[in-house]
Amino acid sequence: MSTKSLIYVSFLPEIILGAFALLIMCVDPFLKKREKVFSTIISIFAIVVAFISNLLFLSRDASLITFNGMIYFDFYSNLLRGLFLLIGFLVSLFAFKYIEREDLFPGEFSSLLLFALIGMDLMAISANLIMTFIGLEILSMSTYILAGFKRKNLKSNESALKYFILGGVSSAILLYGISFLYGFTGTLSYRGIANVLSKGSGFIGSPLLFLGMGMILVGFGFKIALAPFHVWTPDVYEGAPTVVSGFMSVGPKAAGYAALLRIVFQIFPFTLPLWRELFVYSAILTMLIGNLGAIIQKNVKRLLGYSSIAHAGYMLLGIIAADVMGMSGIIFYLFAYLFMNLGAFGVISIFEGKGEKFVTIDDYRGIGFKYPQLTFPLSIFLLSLAGIPLTAGFVGKFVLFGAALMENHMGLVLIAILASLISVYYYLKVIVYMFMKSPIIEGEEIEVRYSGVALFSVLVCAFFVLYLGLFPSYLLNLSKEAVVFLGI
Amino acid sequence: MEILIYIFAILSVLFAINMLIQKKMINVALSLLGCMVSIAVLFIYLYATFVGMLQLIVYAGSVMVLFLIIITLLDPFGKIKYTFTSRLWTFFVSIIGLIFGLLLYVIYGSEKKVEAINSSHFSIKALSDRLFTIYLLPFEVISILILVGIIGSIYFGKKNLTDGDEDENNA
């Protein structure tokens, strides 16, 4: 393949997504109200085409930098891009009927979702800090709008405004950190900075470098909801439209981790001992706050918000371990988390009914055997989130905790196990309410209406949660193959 | 000439502080304008003429005009006033002091001093060279960011987002 075509091939999925997003914006105004579904169909088609083009042009043996040193073309990019496209695919499927039920606008939703996917892709494939920042901004800007997508709902407005203001501050801090690094090294590319840093040992202990890297960590810590930068999470998840909350819990988190892994291991491999301590404290805080906060929640969306904080903490164990097993554990966990959390949010979006009325745990009383086709998958998702064997969540935690244990982080792993034991309580509480409690007023269970598309996507998620729990080796091997490109 | 840089540096800080303590919105905006202009002078003094001019045109010019338009639209008679409690003040001053102290410590504490970049980097030719070669992709991708921003502002700003269909039904 010539270098010129290689440039386009390495960026092809993003081009496809962008082109289809523009197409949706051109087509949507001419559609009548009942034809609006067509926009969602275009977006699903775009994601499938981008996925196929990603599969066609894999780069399994070489790591190339294209577009004048702006993006990486390697298997890590390919695998993470596949993950993001899967997220987009499942979110669009869940949104299919949800948007119609809530009387929202499919055209805007689909195009914003595609733009958010482009931003996530850019974060994972970027080889230059300025590129990473622009990717992050595209993703954040789209999610701010999506969070406030119910324009007439006060809670949705509050959620969007909170996310926007806090997100703006965190982006500013991130950019400030990047400017420190630029002033320090005179370059913005990952390789360039790593080269400068590897030259002299005097660089490593410099407070300027420490401050720059610290600010970058704060910026990413906000996106992936690490304590102490997690405060926005429960409020934003509660107020945002449920499908969007599902997207926010997996999308920005996965993209943030993808970029953070690249930055930590490609720019700062030598300074990792300096950061490990910080990561350890943040991981402990994140796991405890997430799990303890979730116990007292009555609202299921808030509960999953706190649980998503806790899961960000578990994944941090992989960075602390800093070996191939830990890294591949993070990528495996991102996949597992995608299926189980998106599935859980999908079922919640079905149960809540028009106008998101039924979102407390009490509303779930006694529906267990009435809608087994939905409650059994939900139980699988919750058990997987709790880390019960035979599910994907168990394998993910097993790999992450095992990696941390091998690097002699005994205390940390004990705390992590304790934290996941706490989490069993609140996940099981939902299951107990569904199957063993009767409704407060007899015969007054919630009425559930669902479409075939939503049921199909719930079942797909449940299937993959079980599949990854029983046969994890294929994905684990792929993740191992991918993280080799991080140069560990 | 040396004295000019100190004058404008102090001016920019004073304008910034004034921006925080002013009670009327229009005064806040004008203080921001003063701050922007002083920083532009600093850029020009550092031979970054192009960046200085951009600062003047973009920030002091167009962004300020936008601010003023929004102020006149929202609050034409200057009725909105800010109140600052002393607790809020202590909070802000302590945070700013903390960050400022940290920066001073970092800049004077590091062994490697930051060197001034060769001023030839700042010429328009050099800038456009880089913008359209190395930084072409980020430059183009920013258009997506702006597009998303436009979608958002239209989505939130428009009063009624109805389809042609519905209007017919209503009429």
| Assigned token pair, A439 | 């409704």
Which of the four pLDDT bands, split at 50, 70 and 90, describes residue A465?
very high
Would you call A208 and B110 a contact, using CB atoms and an 8 Å cutoff?
yes
- For B169, name the nearest residue in chain A, comparing CA atoms only: A33
Would you call A70 and B138 a contact, using CB atoms and an 8 Å cutoff?
yes
Of B103, B114, B117, the CB nearest to A184: B114
Residue A325 to residue A323: CA distance in whole angstroms: 5
User: What are the domain boundaries of chain B?
Assistant: 2-119, 123-159
Of B110, B133, B152, the CB nearest to A144: B152
* Residue A411, Ramachandran bin (φ over 0: left; ψ between -120 and 50: alpha; else beta): alpha
Looking at the complex, report in whole angstroms how far the Cα of residue A206 sits from the nearest Cα belonging to chain B.
Answer: 5
Three-state helix/strand/coil letters over chain B: CHHHHHHHHHHHHHHHHHHHHCCEHHHHHHHHHHHHHHHHHHHHHCCCHHHHHHHHHHHHHHHHHHHHHHHHHHCCCCCCECCCCHHHHHHHHHHHHHHHHHHHHHHHHCCCCCCCCCHHHHCHHHHHHHHCCCCHHHHHHHHHHHHHHHHHHHHHHCCCCCCHHHHHHHC
Looking at the complex, report in whole angstroms how far the Cα of residue B72 sits from the nearest Cα belonging to chain A.
Answer: 23
Q: Please list the alpha-helical segments (H only) found in A61-206.
A: 75-101, 106-125, 129-147, 154-185, 190-199
What's the whole-number average pLDDT of chain B?
82
pLDDT value, residue B122: 66
Q: Is the pLDDT of residue A283 over 50?
A: yes
Instruction: Choose, out of B104, B130, B137, B168, the residue to mutate when testing the contact with A (most A CBs < 10 Å).
Output: B137
Which of the four pLDDT bands, split at 50, 70 and 90, describes residue B115?
low
Looking at the complex, report in whole angstroms how far the Cα of residue A30 sits from the nearest Cα belonging to chain B.
Answer: 9
Task: Provide DSSP, A444-463.
Answer: -PPP----HHHHHHHHHHHH
| Assigned token pair, B26 | 């229009």
Which of the four pLDDT bands, split at 50, 70 and 90, describes residue A142?
very high
Lowest-confidence segment of A66-75, A303-312, A389-398 by average pLDDT: A66-75
Show Cβ contacts of residue A218 under 8 Å, excluding neighbours closer than 6 positions. A170, A173, A174, A177, A229
Residue A151 to residue A202: CA distance in whole angstroms: 53
- For A126, name the nearest residue in chain B, comparing CA atoms only: B138
More confidently predicted of B82 and A483: A483
pLDDT value, residue A199: 79
The predicted model gives A6-23 an average pLDDT of 92
Looking at the complex, report in whole angstroms how far the Cα of residue A324 sits from the nearest Cα belonging to chain B.
Answer: 31
Q: Name the DSSP letter for residue A266.
A: I
Pairing of strands A71-73, A64-66: antiparallel
Of B105, B110, B136, the CB nearest to A68: B136
Residues of chain A contacting B105 with CB distance shorter than 8 Å? 207
CATH code, B2-119: 1.20.120.1200
Residue A77 to residue A59: CA distance in whole angstroms: 9
Task: Provide DSSP, A293-343.
Answer: HHHT--BHHHHHHHHHHHHHHHHHHHHHH-SHHHHHHHHHHHHHHHHHHHH
Residue A42 to residue A21: CA distance in whole angstroms: 9
3-state helix, strand, coil in chain A (%, to 5): 80, 0, 20
The count of CB pairs under 8 A between chains A and B is: 90
Residues of chain B contacting A151 with CB distance shorter than 8 Å? 155-156, 161
pLDDT value, residue A401: 95
Cβ–Cβ under 8 Å, residues A365 and A430: no
Peptide bond into A439 cis (omega under 30): no
Residue A117 to residue A254: CA distance in whole angstroms: 11
Lowest-confidence segment of A127-131, A197-201, A215-219, A253-257 by average pLDDT: A197-201
A74-A199-B108 Cα angle (round to 5) = 115
Q: Is the pLDDT of residue B170 over 70?
A: no
Looking at the complex, report in whole angstroms how far the Cα of residue B159 sits from the nearest Cα belonging to chain A.
Answer: 10
Lowest-confidence segment of A19-23, B93-97, B166-170 by average pLDDT: B166-170
Which of the four pLDDT bands, split at 50, 70 and 90, describes residue A65?
confident
Q: Name the DSSP letter for residue A440.
A: S
pLDDT value, residue B168: 42
Instruction: Choose, out of A28, A142, A184, the residue to mutate when testing the contact with B (most B CBs < 10 Å).
Output: A142
Residue A193 to residue A397: CA distance in whole angstroms: 33
Q: Is the pLDDT of residue B165 over 50?
A: no
**Please, which residues bridge with residue A72 across strands?**
A65
Cβ–Cβ under 8 Å, residues A373 and A455: yes
Would you call B164 and A32 a contact, using CB atoms and an 8 Å cutoff?
yes
pLDDT value, residue A127: 93
Q: Is the pLDDT of residue B38 over 90?
A: yes
Lowest-confidence segment of A113-122, A305-314, A466-475, B94-103 by average pLDDT: B94-103
| Assigned token pair, A230 | 């997690």
Question: How many CA atoms, within 13 angstroms, populate the side-chain half-sphere of residue B171?
Answer: 7
Cβ–Cβ under 8 Å, residues A439 and A364: no
pLDDT value, residue A282: 93
Share above pLDDT 70 across residues of chain A, in percent, rounded to a whole number: 98
More confidently predicted of A221 and A196: A221
Query: What are the backbone dihedrals phi and psi of residue A151, each rounded to the nearest 5 degrees, phi first?
Result: -65, -30
Q: Is the pLDDT of residue B43 over 50?
A: yes
